[in-house]
Amino acid sequence: MSEQRMASTEMVEEIRTLAAIRDHRLAPYMTDGRPMTLAMALNARRHLLGRPVRHSAGASPQPAAKVAPMSPVPVEPERVTQRTPVPLPEIPAGYYAIPSLTGVNDLAFYRVKVVTEGRWSGRTFVDQIVGGKPDFPVRGERARQVLRAIADAGIEESMREYGRSLGYCGRCNRHLTDAVSRSEGMGPECRRK
């Protein structure tokens, strides 16, 4: 999980001053003392600097107070880290059963889709299979955890466990209709692949 940079107290004060000058009411989360992320503060500041000054009816316009632009909070070089992609195990498309990562059930069931053509070519998608409900997309770090867990449990063994547990082939998801296929967790055609 990446750490978010927070706005400095000077920047937050600048936003409050600009809001008062521009007669703009700030959202409650900006005034109740909660810390503001740097991105949130920069967006609020941009918005306030671009907003025209409002004047009361009949009052002479007052020139807007000049507020010096503030730079973002400096970050020490050792805290700035570049994201390097973590190589993931190559998991082929199929259906897998692995020990539950949450501990709620004994097993969790997943479908891995590997796109080979089109806009998403080369991407791997993971869906969790939940009984009686549509497949639930698993994204981000959770998807990476699932792919690593499948590799750790063994790709072929996870496919076969899916078939043995649910009675569907771990490779193609067809019904397993004979005793040998159910005990193997795959149908005869998929076992030959």
Residues 118-168 have pLDDT tens digits of 998 888 999 999 888 889 999 988 999 999 999 999 999 999 999 999 999
- Please give the pLDDT value at position 53: 46
In a domain? residue 154: yes
**What is the distance, to the nearest Å, from the Cα of residue 100 to the centroid of all Cα atoms in its chain?**
20
If asked whether residues 47 and 100 sit together in one domain, one would say no
In a domain? residue 116: yes
Tokens of 110: 């997943």
If asked whether residues 22 and 99 sit together in one domain, one would say no
Residues 39 and 43: their CA atoms lie apart, in Å, by: 6
Domain count, the chain: 2
If asked whether residues 67 and 105 sit together in one domain, one would say no
In a domain? residue 61: yes
Mean pLDDT over 36-64 rounds to 64
- SS3 (DSSP) at 161: helix
Tallying the residues shown for the chain, one arrives at: 193
Q: Which domain holds residue 41?
A: 9-71
In a domain? residue 85: no
- Please give the pLDDT value at position 56: 47
SS (H, E, C) 47-75: HHHHCCCCCCCCCCCCCCCCCCCCCCCCC
If asked whether residues 116 and 39 sit together in one domain, one would say no
Q: Which residue has the tokens 């296929």?
A: 181
